[in-house]
Structure 1
């Protein structure tokens, strides 16, 4: 070993880049496990950035001539200088000293980022869709998912409840690329490349998931499930891991002379206290009559759990939902409901100004600590619930503190489908409910799933064709299969954050929207995908003379052609051609797809910023979306540097001129629910002085020190 160390040291003096590569590989070999999963980590991954302008100092690759199907020059070059008049760059070949240099037209170059390089990410908004005034936005990021994950370490470190991914299955059928080349079936390093690709990304998930309670869900088939299982055990030794078998295609997929493939596997990696929520769905058909839990659950006699009308936990302040702060008037003598008042606006209005009707007392959503909270539903909705007997008044002692119960959307849906029955009504007209006998005996779901709703052909491919007529995507997951996998972990977490960094057609975000509708809440999904075109489409585009980065090419990429349109159409209920989507959602939540969802979504493209531009406040516009994401991606966004030195919105504020700290802090104290104050300064002492003046509930973040320190390390491989 010492002899190898000496040789590597000698190489470093002659060729630092080669020496560093050798040193890195030597350390990998010397750290090999004596048993378990060993694999070649192969060449470090690199990604081409066709939309990124060429800058001096960039690492670039020379593109093949247009209409050429060859890979072209795979060498990497440094950009020494740029001649804007001639629109060309002077290059020096990396690793060849000064011996090889050339001038190349800018149009024939593409920027390359290796995964060991330092990056400083930003985001550019490419559109949005809004149908809710209260919910946060679902996020779609078009970019290399490894770098997008790095960006999320600044915005969501330790904040993610669930990561659900459906990575490439490594079938050898051109389903994924490594270093910009398709991994073919006969590639002898095929499995090593796949494992290296997965390991790099899974290591970052450790930084994003909540260590105290979260879950990683990974789907896979027989090609890599054994290796994936061992990889998960090595990366997450502290976690509990379980594998599920799921029937996804009853007709089967041919495997040559082997058994037809009808299922796939799902790994669940549990962290901290994470546990499966019991939702009275065993996920398996046993052959008993009426045991199809997609369709006809039996009646029941078990007690049904009602929701507490007073909001608790996150987003529970009056200012978080201003229209859900209103009085409920009860008869002073009997405690029975008299009427429901209107929302008290603006949020600064004093509730003492409201005069209760004669003979009544006003009950407001006041939390245990005496602060003003909010009800779970709006006043109009609560009136409907009381009219149907779906809400009730708790014990009344003549005072102004009374608890109320109501039926959540999930329970109402089960009433509508017959899973829960109304057996009678009490003297106040409130329903008495019961589950079926059979459902009462159900505990945790089983490890074999064979629900009809999980058929990928019907509820993945066919459903996607309904939403995006004329567009195709290979092997999309069943919407209901993803929904079921998520529900066991977020049904009772109304503010859960879900991440999918192999988002493909956008099924995960779609499933999260459906869960919000069924259970209520403001769950949010972050979807990451690149904008690659399919292999067949790529051949056609190259033949026609197009390259990545050309408008025609990018229009047909996964993100722009499938992911973004699918999520937008799911929300609006309309196809990309602005026609109402035909058909209904099925099973437990059956309604017309054309109704859409009361949700929001924002679309971004990942950018790569220069450190100097960040330091000199020249990249704020691209960093601004990251600040918004870190504050919860809800409400307004501060997209430009404030002209008067500061700006405050619903969730966060930006102080760009520290001499304006006093009015900035004064405004922050007036905004309930604000969680972050970004302070732009190089002076640590003044930053700390301002931070001490902020409310304890507001997190002070120093720009750009916090941002730069988060990314100022080599990414490694």
Structure 2
């Protein structure tokens, strides 16, 4: 309604009689309250884009002078002309009753994108970490989350298995902005602004979730939980909604004349066939096997602690995942590549993804003894993927002999299926009180260990996010999880832990911006800095917290290159310095024009979106191929239709191809080529599919 109020005010300025009549009708209609959640759907949000060059026709704001700490001019202007020689632009005020113009230096202008504008997104890679072999890549995207969600409608429409978000709690503190202004507790429209912000994003998230089997998880506190519950019911009438209460601080936060707050709330919205996996007590649960490869770097091959008898090959059948043979140990001075392979088998050595040679945790004699009883196994040895080896510890073997553990069956490979003797699965309750979910001990302390000296307010407990997701993705080893309020990156960290626990290949898409904390902005402005300056942006949340945290979690090293101190706890305990066998790539959202896309001028920025749509796995085609076609690990690109025959032959030779992108304006030629593609390969026409997606879905 505030949008209508703005429009009526403009009408009054031009025609007072018409404006007054519209105002009367508006007041009559607004007095009739409909059933349900009612809030002001404000003028579309706007986001400043300091890194995007200006073009004629753009909307801009005039920045305050350098060194100025007061608010700048928030009015919107349109660029009417750009004078490159003078480095200035002629502006005209938008929405004004009378024409107002000015000429301003280009350096003092910032592009503004309103949320009702069409956007044509691209991505620029800003770094990567690779330790996970051929696993899919986790992605961290720096950008306005609404626009990134819109970009994901091209890459992941209906393909997301779980969304976990921790949105701003609307406390009145300087924790979130609306139209580039912090929303304070004295703002009369505080709640409706928050609801408008959330509704826009949830409506796009709805397009991304798999309607047949997925879950949305949203955390919140008492300030907005009632409104959020109603909003979720209105946006997702088809979903099954439950809210649980979770203790995150047993001591509680002391506040004047109020009860101490110890908890927060978590909404679970389940769609289609989504099922809540039961939790198990220690009794009755499946036993967790230990990794056969040593994890402590002090025990790597060739060290005194590592010894010389535990570096040997293990041969695993490629077809059955059965361990066929155990090789002899080789001395530290012998190259492992000189040892012959065994036909039809993987030759497995205790080597980390980064190439560091470790040792097995057992000698060949002990491995063979355990193997005879099915107490050593290979996991994920199919589809030509090198397996990981696990074993039951001596304590677990004793528990089997004593009856505390029970062998309940055998896997196809002959490995034992072992469970605790007694107990049963139970559905989780709506009240959680777990020591692992303490935000102080397992949120702040984890960040402190990973990126020492870098503070982040109110991080989630790593294990709380892990536990919440596990209920819905435990049986989905290839799940796609999205977090579009990712903050410090706890969700992607939790997904990596889940993968380690069961050998899964889940991937997480994390979306954050590079906002600088409110208390730091004043000092930076006093230094004459502004958003877009390198010295300003390096303190932003994405560059200063999220990216280094994700990199540290994977590598096991702090940003200074030191091994991370401390251990992970609870479900899976191991040194943080071990890191994870995972891949991650970091991107920044860009804004393209339809013309640059259509004429292949933006291909290197569209390329990551094509890769994401194909599963974010393996190699990427970053440049237009000179031969007219190229094939990556998961997709192919045909940019000259006359080269269709060699392109299709190349696709036939590569396993795992999901998509063939075909660049053509001729629909008949596209259809002709699409019919010749190998079975299971999806044809996608460029750039028609991309431009249509954003032309028709992004207008507000």
Q: TM-score range by the shorter chain?
A: 0.7 to 0.9
Q: Name the counterpart of 1:100.
A: 100
Shift of 1:543: 1.3
The 8 Å contact of residues 317 and 345 in structure 2, kept in 1 or not, is answered as no
Per the TM alignment, residue 548 of structure 1 is displaced from its structure 2 partner at its CA by 0.5
Q: How does 1:47-58 map to 2 (within 5 A)?
A: 47-58=47-58
For the residues of structure 2 that align with 1:235 and 1:692, how far apart are their CA atoms? 39
Contact 1:245–1:266, Cα closer than 8 Å, also in 2: yes
SS of 2:452's equivalent in the other structure is coil
In structure 1, the residue matched to 2:349 is none
In structure 1, distance between residues paired with 2:668 and 2:99: 49
Change (3 A) 1:497 1:30: farther
> 1:134: Cα distance to partner?
1.4
1:165 and 1:33 map into 2 onto residues whose CA distance is: 31
SS of the residue 1:64 aligns to? coil
Closer/same/farther in 2, CA of residues 381 and 661 from structure 1, 3 Å limit = farther
1:469–1:681 Cα change, 3 Å: same
Give the secondary structure class of the aligned counterpart of 2:683. strand
1:205 correspondence with 2:205: yes
Deviations 1:317-336, CA, capped at 9 Å, x for gaps = xxxxxx98725699xxxxxx
* Residue 388 (structure 1) aligned with residue 373 (structure 2): no
Residues 32/270 of structure 1: CA separation in 2 closer, same or farther (3 Å cut): farther
* Partner SS for 1:184: coil
CA contact (8 A) 1:409 1:517 kept: no
- Please tell me whether the aligned partners of residues 405 and 421 of structure 2 are also in contact (alpha carbons under 8 angstroms): no
Asked if the contact 2:611–2:620 (Cα under 8 Å) also holds between the matched residues in 1, the reply is yes
- Classify 1:329/1:235 alpha carbon distance in 2 versus 1 (closer, same or farther; 3 Å): closer
The answer for the alignment partner of 2:563 in structure 1 is: 580
Shift, 1:121, TM fit: 0.3
Structure 2 match to 1:187: 187
Determine which of 661, 685, 693 is the counterpart of 1:710: 693
CA contact (8 A) 2:211 2:271 kept: yes
Distance 1:639 1:381 in 2: 42
* 1:434 Cα offset (Å): 3.3
> For residues 182 and 207 of structure 2, what CA distance do their matches in structure 1 show?
29
Any conservation in 1 of the 2:317–2:324 contact (CA below 8 Å)? no
The answer to whether the Cα contact below 8 Å between 1:473 and 1:562 also exists between their aligned partners in 2 is yes
For 1:416-435, what aligned pairs fall within 5 Å after superposition? Answer: 421-423=404-406, 433-435=418-420
Task: Give the Cα–Cα distance (whole angstroms) in 1 for the partners of residues 240 and 66 of structure 2.
Answer: 51
Task: Tell me how far apart the structure 2 counterparts of residues 355 and 165 of structure 1 sit (CA, whole Å).
Answer: 48
- Structure 2 gap segments, 5+ residues each: 290-314, 328-340, 347-359, 376-386
Contact between 2:316 and 2:324, CA under 8 Å: does it hold in 1?
no
In the comparison of the two structures, how many residue pairs are matched?
Answer: 621
**1:413–1:525 CA distance, 2 compared to 1 (3 A):** farther
**Residues 137 and 599, structure 1, Cα contact 8 Å, conserved in 2:** yes
TM-score computed with the length of structure 1 as normaliser:
0.80
Could you say what the CA RMSD is over the residues aligned between the two structures, in angstroms?
Answer: 3.7
- 1:150 is aligned to 2:133: no
Q: 1:692 and 2:671 equivalent?
A: no
- Residues 327/612 of structure 1: CA separation in 2 closer, same or farther (3 Å cut): closer
Give yes or no for the alignment of 1:594 onto 2:582.
Answer: no
CA-CA distance at 1:254 after TM superposition? 1.5
* CA deviation map 1:334-369 (0-9, x unaligned): xxx86489xxxxxxxxxxxx998xxxxx899xxxxx
Q: CA deviation at 1:69?
A: 1.8
CA distance in 2, matches of 1:303, 1:557: 43
**Match of residue 159 from structure 2:** 159
Superposed CA deviations along residues 433-482 of structure 1, whole A, max 9, x for unmatched, are 33153xx2341111111010100000001111111111001100000000
1:515–1:424 distance in 2 versus 1, CA, 3 Å: closer
Give the deviation of 1:556 after TM superposition: 0.2
CA distance in 2, matches of 1:329, 1:539: 60
Q: What is aligned with 1:255?
A: 255
Change (3 A) 1:530 1:327: closer
Matched, 1:501 2:501: no
Equivalent position SS for 1:173? coil
Partner in structure 2 of residue 319 of structure 1: none
Structure 2 residue aligned with 1:520, among 495, 503, 508? 503
Q: Given that residues 406 and 421 in structure 2 are in contact (C-alpha distance below 8 angstroms), is that contact kept between their aligned partners in structure 1?
A: no
2:545 maps to what in 1? 562
1:498-521 deviations in Å (ceiling 9; x for gaps): 000000000000000000000111
Q: Which residue is 1:347 aligned to? A: none
The equivalent residue for 1:61 is: 61
Note if contact 1:117-1:714 (Cα within 8 Å) is conserved in structure 2.
no
Question: Which whole-Å CA distance do the structure 2 matches of 1:113 and 1:391 have between them?
Answer: 64
* Whole-angstrom CA distance in 2 between matches of 1:75 and 1:569: 42
The CA distance in 1 between the partners of 2:248 and 2:396, in whole Å, is 28
Distance change >3 Å, CA 391–CA 161, structure 1 → 2: farther
**Using a 3 Å threshold, how does the CA distance of structure 1 residues 609 and 386 change in structure 2: closer, same or farther?**
farther
Matched with 1:540 is: 523
Contact 1:329–1:340 (CA under 8 A) maintained in structure 2: no
Counterpart of 1:334 in structure 2 is none
Aligned twin of 2:318? 326
For residue 621 of structure 2, what is the aligned residue in structure 1? 638
Distance 1:97 1:390 in 2: 87
State the partner residue of 1:280: 280
**CA displacement 1:107-159 (0-9 Å, x = unmatched):** 10000000000000000000000002111110000000000000000000000
Distance 1:94 1:665, change over 3 A: same
Inter-partner Cα distance in structure 1 for 2:373 and 2:405 = 14
Match of 2:196 in 1: 196
Native 8 Å contact 1:409 1:520 kept in 2: no
Task: Classify the secondary structure of the residue corresponding to 1:545.
Answer: coil
Please, which runs of 5 or more residues in structure 1 have no aligned partner?
A: 282-296, 307-322, 331-336, 342-353, 357-361, 365-379, 394-405
Residue pair 2:374, 2:414 contacting (<8 A) in 1 also: no
**Contact 2:443–2:460 (CA<8 Å) still a contact in 1?**
yes
**Contact 1:410/1:519, CA 8 A, preserved across alignment:** no
Deviations 1:558-582 (A, max 9, x none): 0000000000000000111111110
